[in-house]
């Protein structure tokens, strides 16, 4: 699917429409100034000229604003406030003389960029509660997914906040109450804090930030280093909530404290559910650091076996055990956390294919482990310490991050898809082709593939504890 910035021609048409209220034979808000009324001005156009272009979408219902915003079985067709990435606009602009006129496209574009509101002024998905944030590392954007509708409902473009197209957002963490979320920018050596309405409220400088982990008990944020960094500092960072209210449009400069972990390339990162301990691990050595959250005391633990290259941890909801995947060894390691400052490897299994970011179900009964080089997701039973199933299929192409909906029904896995293993609908050469796969946690079936921007990596929702 094509994702692009607004063209100059489209921008000029939009300005003309906004200034004059009309273009050609299309009237804009003729009875109410410049206001666009959905049922009067937009819906007839969509039905006549836009929806017929959606030849690869099934189940789309354009009878009402509400049904239109539910999208099709394949995904959303409109992203509020983002006409550039809305499928209806993309296909209309691609259709040329066989599609809507420039004036019609400009009208619909203006309506979408103003929030795609209904006649009463409501914005779609404004009340969505369960949100998934997806870092599109190759596009300098974050896609926001409504986990109840399983649709992309917002896009945060970092270029709109003054960052470059090479910002490389890598990982994300969400506050326990969902009121704020953080993202690491490898290309900008920066950590950003956004509020729930996706307004930038804080930023901090940190050399090549990578993984993020949120303490669910205190909202302290832990920060690791990027995998792409060759020789980063042998330290991780922490950001503390300070309770300062940030004035509208102001951005707080946040301070990062650093903790020595004494090994190369600190990457894997997690926090226990009670917030009392954090864990970091090295990509370059078989070592991990146990951190006392109250004192910041650190104990280094050597790990057995071949060089693992631990990518990421996941702690069980009860806080008693932990799991990690080794990129280099292909092993999944199981840890006993009875003595939290001295985690003990109690078992390991060979799954191969570079196990990446694991996720526990909220009841702790299963772990989903993306295996990047295998285009598959392993299902692990932590009680028996065995692999009990594998999910593969359309959309799972170089799987990277994982997250679970708070009720445990769906597991979400981001697919880098740099190998073009998955082809999005309406795809043209050069278009973004990232995806987030939705897996039913009971049937282990892929129930939806949500198309996002280039190179999706880390994903997160608020903790499911």
Average pLDDT over residues 32-38: 78
Give me the mean pLDDT over the 390-412 stretch: 97
For residues 193 and 137, membership in a common domain is answered with yes
194, β-bridge pairs: 181, 200
Q: What is the CA radius of gyration of the chain?
A: 23
Cβ burial 280-317 (10 Å sphere, 16+ → b, else e): bbbbebbbbbbbebeeeebeebebeeeebbbbbbbbbb
Q: Are residues 404 and 367 part of one domain?
A: yes
| pLDDT, tens only, 97-106 | 999 999 999 9
Reference 131, options 70, 197, 85; nearest CA is 197
Q: Which of 83, 60, 80 is nearest to 70 (CA)?
A: 60
Taking a C-beta distance cutoff of 8 angstroms, is the pair 396, 402 a contact? no
| Residue labelled with tokens 């394949």 | 74
Residues 313 and 237 in one domain: yes
List the structure tokens of 268.
Answer: 């894997």
Angle at 319 between CA 318 and CA 320, to 5 degrees: 95
Rounded-to-integer distance, Cα 13 and Cα 198, Å: 28
Q: Is the pLDDT of residue 84 over 60?
A: yes
Q: Which residues of 442-456 are buried (b: 16+ CB within 10 A; e: fewer)?
A: eebebebbbbbbbbb
For residues 32 and 39, is the Cβ–Cβ distance under 8 A? no
Structure tokens at 401: 């991050």
Mean pLDDT of 16-24: 33
Q: How many CA atoms lie within 13 A of 281 on its CB side?
A: 27
CA distances from 142 to 136, 210, 319 (A): 6, 15, 30
Q: Final residue of a domain: which of 84, 113, 142?
A: 113
3-state helix, strand, coil in the chain (%, to 5): 15, 35, 50
Q: Based on the fold, state whether residues 242 and 98 are members of the same structural domain.
A: no
Of 369 and 20, more confident: 369
Bridge partners, 292 (sequence order): 277
CA separation for the pair 424, 257 (Å, rounded):
42
Residues in contact with 296: Cβ distance below 8 Å, sequence separation at least 6, in sequence order: 238, 259
Domain membership of residue 124 (yes or no) is no
> What is the domain extent for residue 308?
132-460
Question: According to the model, what pLDDT value does residue 430 have?
Answer: 82
In this structure, is residue 156 part of a structural domain? yes
Candidates 464, 394, 406; CA nearest to 435 is 394
Give the whole-angstrom CA distance, residue 46 versus residue 42: 6
**347 and 262 co-located in one domain:** yes
Same domain, 154 and 23: no
Q: How far apart are CA 397 and CA 22, in angstroms?
A: 46
How far does CA 147 lie from the centroid of its chain? Answer: 11
Q: How far is the C-alpha of 212 from the C-alpha of 85, rounded, in Å? A: 27
Same domain, 59 and 144: no
Strand 359-360 relative to strand 344-350, pairing: unpaired
Indicate if 298 and 356 belong to the same structural domain.
yes
Look up the CATH number of the domain holding residue 346: 2.130.10.10
Residue 127 included in any domain: no
Does 136 share its domain with 87?
Answer: no
* Same domain, residue pair 169 and 74: no
Q: What is the pLDDT of residues 229-284, one digit of tens each?
A: 989 999 999 999 764 444 555 798 999 999 999 999 999 999 999 999 999 999 99
pLDDT per residue over 142-182, tens digit each?
Answer: 999 999 999 999 999 999 999 999 999 999 999 999 999 99
Per the structure, how many domains does the chain have?
2
- Section 201-220 average pLDDT: 95
Residues 249 and 151 in one domain: yes
- For residues 314 and 189, membership in a common domain is answered with yes
More confidently predicted of 219 and 36: 36
Secondary structure of 364-383 in the HEC alphabet? CCCEEEEEHHHCEEEEEECC
């Amino acid at each position: 699917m094509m994702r692009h910035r607004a063209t100059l021609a489209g921008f000029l048409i939009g300005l003309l429409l906004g200034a004059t209220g009309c273009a050609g034979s299309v009237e804009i808000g003729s009875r109410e100034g410049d206001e666009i009324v959905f049922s009067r001005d937009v819906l007839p156009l969509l039905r006549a000229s836009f929806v017929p272009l959606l030849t690869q979408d099934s189940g789309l219902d354009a009878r009402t604003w509400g049904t239109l915003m539910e999208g099709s079985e394949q995904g959303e067709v409109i992203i509020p406030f983002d006409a550039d990435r809305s499928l209806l606009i993309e296909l209309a602009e691609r259709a040329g003389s066989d599609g809507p006129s420039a004036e019609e496209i400009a009208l619909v574009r203006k309506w979408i960029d103003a929030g795609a509101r209904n006649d009463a002024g409501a914005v779609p998905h404004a009340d969505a509660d369960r949100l998934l944030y997806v870092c599109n590392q190759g596009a300098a954007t974050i896609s926001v997914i409504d986990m109840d509708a399983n649709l992309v409902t917002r896009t945060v473009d970092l270029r709109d906040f003054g960052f470059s197209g090479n910002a490389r957002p890598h990982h994300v963490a969400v506050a326990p109450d969902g009121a704020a979320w953080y993202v690491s920018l490898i290309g900008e050596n920066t950590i950003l804090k956004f509020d729930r309405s996706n307004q930038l409220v804080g930023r901090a400088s940190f050399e090549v930030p990578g993984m993020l982990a949120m303490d669910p008990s205190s909202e302290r944020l832990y920060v690791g280093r990027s995998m792409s960094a060759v020789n980063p500092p042998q330290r991780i960072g922490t950001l503390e909530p300070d309770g300062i209210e940030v004035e509208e449009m102001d951005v707080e400069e946040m301070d990062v404290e650093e903790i020595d972990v004494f090994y190369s390339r600190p990457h894997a990162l997690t926090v226990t559910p009670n917030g009392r301990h954090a864990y970091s691990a090295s990509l370059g050595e078989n070592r991990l650091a146990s951190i006392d959250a109250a004192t910041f005391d650190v104990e280094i633990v050597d790990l057995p076996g071949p060089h693992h290259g631990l990518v990421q941890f996941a702690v069980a909801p009860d806080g008693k055990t932990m799991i990690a995947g080794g990129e280099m060894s292909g092993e999944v390691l199981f840890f006993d956390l009875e003595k939290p400052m001295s985690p003990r490897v109690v078992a390991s299994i060979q799954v191969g294919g570079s196990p990446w970011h694991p996720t526990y179900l909220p009841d702790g009964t299963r772990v989903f482990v993306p295996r990047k080089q295998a285009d598959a997701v392993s299902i692990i039973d932590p009680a028996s310490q065995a692999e009990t199933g594998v999910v593969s299929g359309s959309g799972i192409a170089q799987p990277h991050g994982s997250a679970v909906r708070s009720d445990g029904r769906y597991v979400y896995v981001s697919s880098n898809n740099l190998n073009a293993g998955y082809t999005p609908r309406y795809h043209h050469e050069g278009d973004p082709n990232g995806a987030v796969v939705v897996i039913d946690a009971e049937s282990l079936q892929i129930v939806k593939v949500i198309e996002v921007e280039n190179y999706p990596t880390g994903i997160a929702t608020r903790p499911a504890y």
